[in-house]
Amino acid sequence: MPTASGHHCGPLDEPGRPGWDTAPPGDGGAALSRLTATPHPAVPRPGRGPCGRSPRTRHPEEAPPGARAAEALLRQADVALSEAKRSGRPAVEVYDRSRDRHTPGRLALLGDLRAALDNGQVRLHYQPKVRFDGSVAGLEALVRWDHPERGRVAPDEFIAVAESSGLMPRLTDYVLETALAQVARWRTDGIAVPVAVNVSPRDVHTPGFAGAVAARLARHGVPAGALQLEITEHVLLDDPQQAADTLAGLTGHGVRMSLDDFGTGYSSLVHLRRLPVSELKIDRAFVARLAEDGEDAEIVRCTVELAHSLGLAVVAEGVEDGETWNRLRDLGCDAVQGWLLAPAMPASRTTRWLRDHHPPTVADGGPAPAPTPGRGRLRSTQDPAHPTP
């Protein structure tokens, strides 16, 4: 099968998901690594392995299904090579049809996505981030697309199409414009809550991105502190200098940065030192089994301590039960996000949730207990019709 390979020079982390949005349960995803005490290798130069060798394709021993002509084999090998260079990870890269932007299905999806953006069919849902005293730390804006024929399209699927086709900047512009317009409406109605928007490495590597974000904030009359941008470690893989310049420009304007999916990417600790973030988000992969997996609990404990030592707030994603809430509270996590508190909701439903929400009363003044269905206003709002992102 057509592959691209690099060269191992030391222990490796498994790759994280493509930056931008968190997948709902059941969408699947890439294998996730755990933080270890093993030193991480240095960040490779774009398009090169850690030993300075460029990834290369090797001749296939047999044609993969559907590829009978030499041209098809070469094109599939080129897709694998491009993905190896894009990811920057020194490992074998196998041709993946889902990453091939030239298949008929992906081309059709791309055309439908472009039309959906033109017609305003792409929507934003918002999921609260809640502190352990019950106060709202903020919202995360998550993109949703209900296709007229296919129904709800998984975010990972259409975002991957947008990233590989060059449509990503337009999708990001659409999301930023929609989110900031909503923030402005909430502020007019007396609801001042910060909103986080996911941005991709392609956005961060676009010259002028920081200035464009600042101009959009000014146009909507929204203070920079009301916007948070969530990035992943992948922003440093392709063009570290351009990424550093863009992130410095954004923070210089007052926009806060959050590092999403911490621990699932490449050289997490190295990147954490270089990214101007104020918040770190622990991926749901470590949170889901926190109450029953001692190793995951230790990872979370160490992550919280590390983040706090660097002056960063810590948010845990994917919290779905009271026991996990209690464990995260005891480990010193600052806020949580997940089904236990609220799913990702349309703007109108989010507005009602924000108006109804208040901290639960605690007689002894201690930390708030885990929310349970029917307990005051801070309750579980799990709704199968609105799956957690």
CA 11 to chain centre: 24
The half-sphere exposure of 72 on its side-chain side, counting CA atoms within 13 A, is 11
- Residue 194, SS3? coil
Q: Is 123 a domain residue?
A: yes
Q: What pLDDT is stored for residue 235 in this prediction?
A: 85
DSSP 234: T
Q: What pLDDT is stored for residue 19 in this prediction?
A: 34
Alpha helices in 88-122 (DSSP H): 104-119
Q: Which helix (H) or strand (E) element contains residue 261?
A: strand 256-262
CATH of residue 165: 3.20.20.450
- Residue 277, SS3? coil
- Residue 182, SS3? helix
3-state DSSP percent of the chain in helix, strand and coil, to 5:
40, 15, 45
Sign of CA dihedral 361, 362, 367, 371: negative
Task: Give the chain's largest Cα–Cα span.
Answer: 73
**230 is written with which tokens?**
């969530």
Q: Is 93 a domain residue?
A: no
Q: What pLDDT is stored for residue 131 in this prediction?
A: 95
Domain count, the chain: 1
Low-confidence ranges of the chain (pLDDT < 50): 1-61, 359-368, 372-389
DSSP 337: E
**CA–CA separation, 349 and 336 (whole Å):** 20
- Which is nearest to 230 in space by CA: 269, 192, 199? 199
Bridge-based pairing state of the strands 345-346 and 136-147:
unpaired
Burial class (CB in 10 A: 0-12, 13-18, 19+), 229: buried
Q: What pLDDT is stored for residue 237 in this prediction?
A: 77
DSSP string computed for 168-201? HHHHHHHHHHHHHHHHHHHHHTT----EEEE--H
Q: Is 208 a domain residue?
A: yes
Sign of CA dihedral 230, 236, 241, 242: negative
- Which is nearest to 127 in space by CA: 277, 281, 276, 264? 281
Burial class (CB in 10 A: 0-12, 13-18, 19+), 140: buried
Residues 6+ apart with CB under 8 A from 296: 34, 286, 287, 289, 290
Across 176-329, where does the E strand assignment appear? 195-198, 227-231, 256-262, 279-282, 313-317
Q: Is 154 a domain residue?
A: yes
Q: Is 337 a domain residue?
A: yes
Q: Is the pTM of this model over 0.85?
A: no
CA-CA distances (angstroms) from residue 45 to 13, 53, 232? 17, 10, 18
Q: Is 62 a domain residue?
A: no
- Residue 253, SS3? coil
366 close to 133: Cβ distance less than 8 angstroms: no
Q: Is 313 a domain residue?
A: yes
Burial class (CB in 10 A: 0-12, 13-18, 19+), 343: buried
Q: Which domain holds residue 265?
A: 117-356
DSSP 41: P
According to DSSP, the residues that pair with 122 across neighbouring strands are: 145
Give ∠ CA 294-29-175 in degrees, rounded to 5. 115
- Which is nearest to 279 in space by CA: 327, 325, 335? 335
According to DSSP, the residues that pair with 375 across neighbouring strands are: none
Q: What pLDDT is stored for residue 160 in this prediction?
A: 86
Mean pLDDT for all residues in the chain: 75
Q: Is 28 a domain residue?
A: no
**CA–CA separation, 337 and 280 (whole Å):** 13
Q: Name the residue with tokens 């294998």.
A: 31
**340 is written with which tokens?**
């236990």
DSSP 384: T
Q: What pLDDT is stored for residue 93 in this prediction?
A: 75
200 close to 20: Cβ distance less than 8 angstroms: yes
